[in-house]
Structure 1
Amino acid sequence: MIVITAPTGNIGSHLLPRLLESAATEEHLRVVVRDPARLPADVRERVEVITGSHGDPEVVDRAFEGADAVFWLVPPDSSLTPEAGFSGFARPAARALADRGVGHVVSVSALGRGTPVADRAGLVTASLAMDDLIASSGVAYRALANPSFFENLLEEADSIREHGVFTDSVDADRKAPLVAVADIAAAAAALLLDRTWTGVDSVPVLGPEDLSPADLARIMTEQFGRPVRYERQSYDDLRTTLVGYGLDQTFVQGIVDMKRAKDDGLDSGVPRTTESSSPTTFEQWCTQVLKPAVLT
Structure 2
Amino acid sequence: MILVTGATGTIGSHLVPLLVDSGAEVRVMSRRQGFRADFEDADSLKRAVDGVDTVFLLSAPGKTAEHDLALLDVAQHVRKVVKISAIHTGTPGFELTSSWHLPGEEALRSSGLMWTILRPTTFASNALVWLPQIEAGEPIPSYCGDGTNGVVDPRDIAAVAAKALLTDDHDKQTYTLTGPQLLSTPQQVEILSEVLGTTLTTIDISPDQARVSMLAQGMSPESVDFMLKGFEIVRNGGNAVVTDHVERVLGRPPATFKDWAQDTLNTLAAKS
TM superposition score category, shorter chain reference: 0.7 to 0.9
One of 183, 199, 202 as aligned partner of 1:211: 183
Is 2:235 the partner of 1:263? yes
Is 2:263 the partner of 1:288? yes
Given that residues 176 and 212 in structure 1 are in contact (C-alpha distance below 8 angstroms), is that contact kept between their aligned partners in structure 2? yes
Given that residues 7 and 16 in structure 1 are in contact (C-alpha distance below 8 angstroms), is that contact kept between their aligned partners in structure 2? yes
> Matched residues in 2 for 1:198 and 1:272: separation?
18
> Matched residues in 1 for 2:43 and 2:142: separation?
40
Given that residues 178 and 243 in structure 2 are in contact (C-alpha distance below 8 angstroms), is that contact kept between their aligned partners in structure 1? no
One of 50, 75, 78 as aligned partner of 1:97: 75
| Equivalent position SS for 1:216 | helix
The structure with higher relative contact order (CA 8 Å, sep 6+) is 1
Is 2:225 the partner of 1:247? no
Given that residues 103 and 139 in structure 1 are in contact (C-alpha distance below 8 angstroms), is that contact kept between their aligned partners in structure 2? yes
Given that residues 2 and 70 in structure 1 are in contact (C-alpha distance below 8 angstroms), is that contact kept between their aligned partners in structure 2? yes
Counterpart AA for 1:132: E
- How far 1:246 moved relative to its partner? 3.0
How many percent of aligned residue pairs carry the same amino acid? 26
- How far 1:56 moved relative to its partner? 2.4
Number of residue equivalences: 268
- Which residue does the alignment assign to 1:71? 56
> Matched residues in 2 for 1:163 and 1:178: separation?
24
- How far 1:164 moved relative to its partner? 4.0
| Equivalent position SS for 2:133 | helix
1:153-188 CA deviation, whole Å, 9 max, x = no partner? 11110112213422232122x232001111111111
- Which residue does the alignment assign to 2:131? 157
- How far 1:228 moved relative to its partner? 1.0
Task: Please show how residues 74-223 of structure 1 align to structure 2 within 5 Å.
Answer: 74-76=59-61, 82=62, 85-98=63-76, 101-113=77-89, 115-119=91-95, 122-123=96-97, 125-172=99-146, 174-199=147-172, 201-223=173-195
Task: Please show how residues 26-41 of structure 1 align to structure 2 within 5 Å.
Answer: 27-36=24-33
> Matched residues in 2 for 1:266 and 1:144: separation?
19
- Which residue does the alignment assign to 1:10? 10
Given that residues 124 and 258 in structure 1 are in contact (C-alpha distance below 8 angstroms), is that contact kept between their aligned partners in structure 2? no
> Matched residues in 2 for 1:31 and 1:292: separation?
24
> Matched residues in 2 for 1:232 and 1:294: separation?
28
Give the superposed CA RMSD: 2.6
One of 205, 227, 235 as aligned partner of 2:199: 227
Distance 1:236 1:128, change over 3 A: farther
> Matched residues in 1 for 2:207 and 2:104: separation?
26
Identify unmatched segments of 5+ residues in structure 1. Answer: 37-48, 77-81
Identify unmatched segments of 5+ residues in structure 2. Answer: none
Q: TM-score, normalised by structure 1?
A: 0.80
> Matched residues in 2 for 1:288 and 1:221: separation?
15
- How far 1:52 moved relative to its partner? 2.3
Counterpart AA for 1:70: V
- How far 1:32 moved relative to its partner? 1.1
1:74-131 CA deviation, whole Å, 9 max, x = no partner? 134xxxxx3xx21123221121123xx2221112221114644233xx3355234442
Distance 1:29 1:291, change over 3 A: closer
Counterpart AA for 1:91: L
| Equivalent position SS for 1:275 | helix
Distance 1:7 1:271, change over 3 A: closer
Distance 1:127 1:288, change over 3 A: same
Distance 1:103 1:280, change over 3 A: same
Q: TM-score, normalised by structure 2?
A: 0.86
